[in-house]
Chains A and B, each alone.
Chain A
């Protein structure tokens, strides 16, 4: 430990990789060999010169303490972000204190760092005064735009209602034979109607018939919930405001982060990516040590590219979060960050299996479209099985099934290894499909073991 605060683990660094190839290339550069002139500063910057194939070494700088997450600068021609040199440098920094030690920022790095910090500061000042007024310059025009979009969504929802009724009239069996194309086409109509939330739900319906035994029940459930969402949108004027806000988010209108910012020590519990082939969605779960709130950060990346936002799992960051509006809305945006991250000293307070499931039920009463709800279980024992894993309360009576399409088998085995047949604390998402474990802590050890990833 030094004045830098805690160095990241290799796993935390590799989580920043934009793709597998960069991960591999970065690991190879994570040793002292190709590096010279490396150092790190109290301000949270790491720099170094990396020998490449040319005669001039690449100049690589990472600002790990940026207010909005790490930022990278490298003189190499790669368009990947971060490039393999930045990853290699961070790996070297994380693994070898002797190779990257405290030092004076060299001129070539200082210029970029100062410029960057300066911009960030100006932006913050600007954000406080000028930014908002610019946005609301013409409230009348904004309202007209919003009205037009609402009208298009209404048309879309009405059309979707019609299609759902047709499907039910002809039968789900018939719809299954019509295949994926039926739903794809409907989804495209919803995209046209500017209702991306409806579109993605419709697209998911197309996958249900191929999901194994019991699909008609699941398809009916999902059709019914989509119908419920259509009805709720069409009747939103009669809904209480928090529910109306939820409905707006669900159809795909972004609810702006408007609630006051919450500053807390946020435990970074999990980070994982899912992809629909076009867009990679990154979910980052946070738990506020002071407020006890759980928050979800979302970040998106275009096909094949990693989302920009990355936070190191297992560390605590002192930061401001701005929650989005809506009932049971966990989504938030991360704002200003303060100081250096420090390791998580204790897992979030946990619950029994029954309490966890009850919390999901309660959340459903305000957002019936919820697939799952974040939950920390304490004192649970993983029970491996060929197809069905369980997490049992320590008394061995009741248990939660582990969700079938769970992130990775390796993660589950890591959980079993950590438990060794004894109780552990597990954070994950709990819903009607079961529990998806994302991070775990063994008894008497504060180290966060990520269950996502390889």
Chain B
């Protein structure tokens, strides 16, 4: 083998190797007497290869990325870090969808709760978990706000380097993360007047919504001032979104602005302004609505019992339309009842007491209503109670939880009942739903349970467990209750685990029950218990010192 080769020699070697030494003889410097051409070529190529590899040098570096912003939150305690890895790893493992759920907790379902608890404590996400966290947030939009808040500024920094994680940069401007620690790396603090001003004047639409929302949460009046200044120059779709931001911290001081918006060019803006005003019972709009509706409803005592009589409006004039009343009814509804419904839901609830003989809401909803107007009237009151967040009216309209839903005073719709419940205190809500479940079982309770505070209060939890127990004794299969069961795994107080232990045993098969149901119930209760235990451990881990 000879000593030196040059780059051109190497290229010639490659060429003759590619074409074959029979077609292209290697350079003469390569050949040596007594050695076949292919072997001589391989000899030289070996020398060259080893020399090249041994002589490698580093390459020039590309520009180094900007350092990630500091995250000053305290680090996660060690056991909680492990838990996070486990929760995220479960997500990464494919398969397992469908079929029986077995007795083990569903870790993916616990991730949202874990993230919420962690964010409440204000911990910083471990850097090495950020890619998995961003991947989880990418796959599940419901996780995004909490996951991104936990990921913090370094998470956003990382997302900026990978186009798969673009959603995180968009999300950072959204209302969900604004104001939280680490949310919105580039969003100015609400008290940074100049920064806010600049972004409001020059930002993209999403950035402007973000900044308005964050200022509104911090100082409602300042947000209103910001919005008022540029209002007349905004586009209609934008005006609608901005107006929507005023729901947060809505107060009487917003009234003049909203009153002005009632004359907006855009119908949707007008309707939203009217809706917001009607949620302010002292507003002039609410008063105008009250005047309109009060003449439609009266108390008739003519035949000894008090009865409500209704005379629906005969026209929808321009003034009504300006106040947000939609003149054309949806198909299948009469004009006059449509107008009446809108007036009732927008009028302050306080007017009815006076109008209907000084009665309390409970008494009012119990009054008979003439000519079949009862449903219409009660439905309107329900919407008004929800909009005005009036607990007394909500309570009256919900009626007694044990009463059959169809005969209730307000509405038989579970969705509306769930909304009415939201106006009650946590405790009262839980008690009402508990009583409802005790009376009617679980099949209708799902939506109502959804508005209850987690973990469920004692009586509520017990009512749910008792109802499950009854369903089991009745011989049905547990998957008829899988929705409630899943909710119970996430919402029951972990302290209930010990009490539930009794239910995990497989009972003897009773006559008439569905075959094998006992075993499945036992499995479902085992999963419930182990999930509760796990949740207790998860919360304890977050409480330990880091």
Residues of A within 8 A of B (CB): 9-11, 14, 20-21, 23-24, 27-34, 51, 91, 94-99, 161, 164-174, 216-217, 219-221, 223-225, 227-228, 353-354, 357, 360-362, 364-365, 368, 381, 383-385, 390, 392-393, 396-401, 410, 413-414, 416-418, 420-422, 431-432, 442, 449, 454
Contacts and interface: CB of A to CB of B under 8 A. Distances in A.
A322 B135 CA distance: 42
Main secondary structure of the interface of B (DSSP, over half): helix
B86 interface: yes
Contact of B96 (A24, A354, A431): A24
Given A165-B38, A173-B18, A383-B64, A31 B53 contact: no
Contacts of A357: 56-58
17 contacts: A9-B82, A11-B89, A24-B93, A24-B95, A95-B82, A95-B86, A96-B537, A164-B42, A165-B42, A168-B41, A227-B46, A357-B57, A360-B53, A383-B62, A383-B64, A417-B130, A421-B68
B62 A170 contact: no
Nearest to B106: A28
Contact of A368 (B50, B56, B66, B154): B50
A399 B49 CA distance: 22
Interface of B: 13-14, 17-23, 36-39, 41-43, 45-46, 48-50, 52-68, 79, 82-83, 85-86, 89-90, 92-96, 102-105, 107, 127-132, 135, 154, 157-158, 161-162, 526-527, 529-531, 533-534, 537
Given A390-B61, A417-B154, A170 B20 contact: yes
A447 to B, nearest CB: 8
Given A9-B82, A33-B103, A168-B21, A398 B53 contact: no
Given A11-B85, A27-B86, A32-B533, 17 more contacts: A20-B94, A33-B104, A33-B527, A34-B104, A166-B38, A168-B17, A168-B21, A168-B42, A173-B19, A216-B17, A220-B18, A224-B43, A228-B50, A360-B56, A417-B130, A418-B128, A420-B68
B61 A220 contact: no
Main secondary structure of the interface of A (DSSP, over half): helix
A172 B157 CA distance: 47
Contacts of B38: 164-169
Contacts of A171: 17-23
A429 B365 CA distance: 78
A414 B530 contact: no
Contact of B56 (A23, A97, A396, A432): A432
A33 B60 contact: no
B59 A381 contact: no
A24 to B, nearest CB: 4
A165 B39 CA distance: 6
A144 to B, nearest CB: 33
A95 B81 CA distance: 10
A396 B86 contact: no
A427 to B, nearest CB: 15
A86 to B, nearest CB: 16
B86 A30 contact: yes
A34 B537 contact: no
Nearest to B62: A383
B41 A34 contact: no
A77 B89 CA distance: 26
A161 B42 CA distance: 10
Contacts of B531: 33
Contact of B127 (A32, A95, A383, A420): A420
A21 B95 CA distance: 9
B45 A224 contact: yes
A-B residue pairs, 6 tightest by C-beta: A33-B530, A171-B20, A168-B38, A224-B45, A420-B68, A398-B58
Contacts of A173: 18-20
Nearest to B85: A10
Contact of A413 (B23, B45, B65, B131): B131
Contact of A397 (B21, B53, B60, B129): B60
A396 B93 contact: no
Contact of B59 (A14, A20, A400, A417): A400
Contacts of B61: 383, 390, 392-393, 396-399
Contacts of B18: 171-173, 216, 220
Contacts of A166: 38
Which of A392, A399, A417 has the most B CB atoms < 10 Å from its CB?
A417
Contact of B58 (A353, A365, A432): A353
Nearest to A222: B49
Given A171-B19, A390-B59, A31 B42 contact: no
B42 A169 contact: no
Contacts of B68: 420-422
A220 B19 CA distance: 12
A432 B53 contact: yes
Contacts of A418: 127-128
Nearest to A97: B79
A32 B82 contact: no
Given A23-B93, A360-B56, A418-B128, A31 B17 contact: no
Contact of A169 (B20, B53, B89, B537): B20
B65 A421 contact: yes
Given A420-B67, A432-B53, A220 B17 contact: yes
B131 A10 contact: no
B105 A33 contact: yes
Contacts of B93: 20, 23-24, 27
Given A96-B537, A383-B65, A397-B61, A91 B130 contact: no
Nearest to A369: B50
Contacts of A368: 46, 50, 53
A170 B46 contact: no
A453 to B, nearest CB: 9
A225 B43 CA distance: 9
Contacts of B54: 361-362, 364-365
A421 B534 contact: no
A355 to B, nearest CB: 10
Contacts of A51: 103, 526
Contacts of B20: 168-174
A196 B48 CA distance: 26
B86 A228 contact: no
Which of A24, A168, A421, A442 has the most B CB atoms < 10 Å from its CB?
A168
Contacts of A170: 20, 22
Given A169-B21, A383-B65, A417-B127, A29 B104 contact: yes
A421 B49 contact: no
Nearest to A385: B62
Contact of A27 (B19, B107, B130): B107
Nearest to B506: A55
A421 B157 contact: yes
A170 B19 CA distance: 7
A417 B13 contact: no
A399 B105 contact: no
A220 B64 contact: no
Contacts of A354: 57-58
